[in-house]
Amino acid sequence: MKFLFYLILVLLLVPLQTTLLPHLSVWSIKPDLGFVAAALVGIFAGELEGLLVGLAIGWVLNLFSAGELWLSLLTNGGVGILAGFLGRQLTLVTSISLGVGLLLVSLASGLFAAVSFTHLDMSQMWWMVESIALPQACFDGAVGAGLYWLLSQWFHVTRLRTE
Amino acid sequence: MAHSRSPYSARRIALACFALLLVALFLLPNQIQGLLQYLDGPVGHVVGVPLEAIASIDASIANRWERYVALQGVQEENQQLRKEIEWLRGQHSQLREFSAATERLTALLQFKEQALPTMVAAQVIGRDATNRYRAIILNKGESDGIKPDMGVVTPAGVVGRVVKTTGASSVVLLVTDPSNSIPGLIQRTRDEGIVEGTQQGMARLKYIPLLSTLRDGDRVVTSGLVGGFPRGLVIGTITNIDKQEGALFQSAELMPEVDVGRVEEVLVIQMSYGQSTKAGAEADVIGKPSP
């Protein structure tokens, strides 16, 4: 049952991210739903599932991106495992704390991506951080916080996390 | 305070998996990529089903919107287009004369006739999954004969080149992406350079010889030397020239001929000039010369 849920999640993320989200993008920046989904799975299901689902999301989304595979695997798998660890260490995860956490991790991964672009000079790298990584991190944080808040309205999230 | 829901072994397994992945990605990046490539085709087919379904719904909504709702200012646009047609008719008749003259001269010089490039028509079904690249996703992939490095165009000009394929889809890096480079040629002066995208969503022709007499409004076309493009496809028009003192080359900003943000259908160049067209003739192939 869980496997089926994860399979549907991964399958639906691709059209959402590539076809529908570009219509909702602000200044051509859209949130990374795969990143947010991996973090939420990590929070609710633990580090191992967070890692595996994150890796699956990273790989499948990378099939529909011009980006490097290793970066996608590292970012999505990393956020899944990190969210799993944090979810286990913290008793109370609120939508605000999750949003801020996602913002910071997304910003870190954006910085890492900018540094990994070897053909960019310093000014271009700064432009990439300022115009892509930072707005996307804000977007990811907001979407993650919003989704967690929605889930907390429908389900008893603390019980969901400890099950 | 820690939850006790996650067993200690799961945590260790997760950490071990991640550490192993990190090591493998850094030590054997090509092998990992090669291993996953075997799965790319079938997984691409499976993921392509919901993607195409949602893309077709999205396209039909967009179509209805354009047909019935977004009709403001159509009359002015219509008048402007009529004027443009008149002007283009004049140009067309002039070009026919030039074409006839070229044919006569070609026959005179006994040039070998070149094969026309074969192209596959494809639909744009999405945009890059990340924000870091300017890329589009097409609904045709490996099973339609599309391979990385093939050129992608519209009748107006160059769109980009294929960088990744799965069974049923392919990713095209747009001409406006900074990591894309296409060999270009200034049509009037015949000076060559490399066209790269800019962060502002335009393009730039780099490495133009210092003695080149280029000017604003000059057209830049593909040079056909490297890559999946035949010679003479329009890339863009020069809008600004950058000639710095002491520099070895000059560069120029280009306005891309194709509005890559709104492109919906494209043609993928399967075989360039001079190559066999046998393989391309099997499928959904359009043998159409580029403008």
Per-residue pLDDT tens over the stretch B137-192: 998 888 888 988 899 988 888 999 999 888 888 999 999 988 888 899 898 888 88
Q: At what angle do helices A95-116 and A69-89 cross, to 10 degrees?
A: 150
Chain B segment 215-254 residues within 8 A of A by beta carbon are none
- In terms of CA atoms, which chain B residue is nearest residue A87? B3
Question: Does the CB of B194 have a partner CB in chain A at under 8 Å?
Answer: no
Is A23 part of any domain? no
Least CB-CB distance to B126: which of A18, A60, A84? A18
Chain B segment 121-160 residues within 8 A of A by beta carbon are 125-133, 135, 137
Give me the residue label for tokens 């945590």. Answer: B11
The pLDDT value given to residue B77: 84
Set of chain A residues whose Cβ sits within 8 Å of the Cβ of B29: 70
Least CB-CB distance to B131: which of A11, A70, A136? A136
Is there a contact between B183 and B222 (Cβ–Cβ < 8 Å)? yes
Strand B181-186 relative to strand B157-165, pairing:
unpaired
CA distance B26 to chain A (A): 8
The pLDDT value given to residue B2: 44
Set of chain A residues whose Cβ sits within 8 Å of the Cβ of B50: 11-12, 14-15
**In chain B, which residues have pLDDT < 70?**
1-8, 69-70, 72, 108-117, 271-291
> What total number of domains does chain A contain?
1
pLDDT at residue A63 tops 60: yes
> What is the pLDDT of chain A when averaged over all its residues?
85
Secondary-structure class of domain B181-256 per CATH: mainly beta
What CATH architecture does domain B22-71+114-175+266-274 belong to?
Beta Barrel (2.40)
CA dist., res. A136 & res. A106, Å (int): 8
CA dist., res. A48 & res. B16, Å (int): 10
The pLDDT value given to residue B239: 92
Q: Which domain holds residue A58?
A: 2-10+31-162
Sorted by where each begins, the domain ranges of chain B are: 22-71+114-175+266-274, 72-113, 181-256
B227 Cβ neighbours under 8 A, 6+ residues apart: B149, B151, B161, B182, B183
What is the phi/psi pair of residue B135, to 5°? -145, 155
CB pair distance less than 8 Å for B14 and A47: yes
Question: Does the CB of A85 have a partner CB in chain B at under 8 Å?
Answer: yes
Same fold? B22-71+114-175+266-274, B181-256: yes
Mean pLDDT to the nearest integer, A12-17: 88
pLDDT at residue A158 tops 70: no
The pLDDT value given to residue B285: 40
Least CB-CB distance to A162: which of B5, B163, B178? B5
Per-residue pLDDT tens over the stretch A111-130: 888 888 777 778 888 888 88
Q: Which of the pair, A90 or A150, is modelled with greater confidence? A: A150
Is A21 part of any domain? no
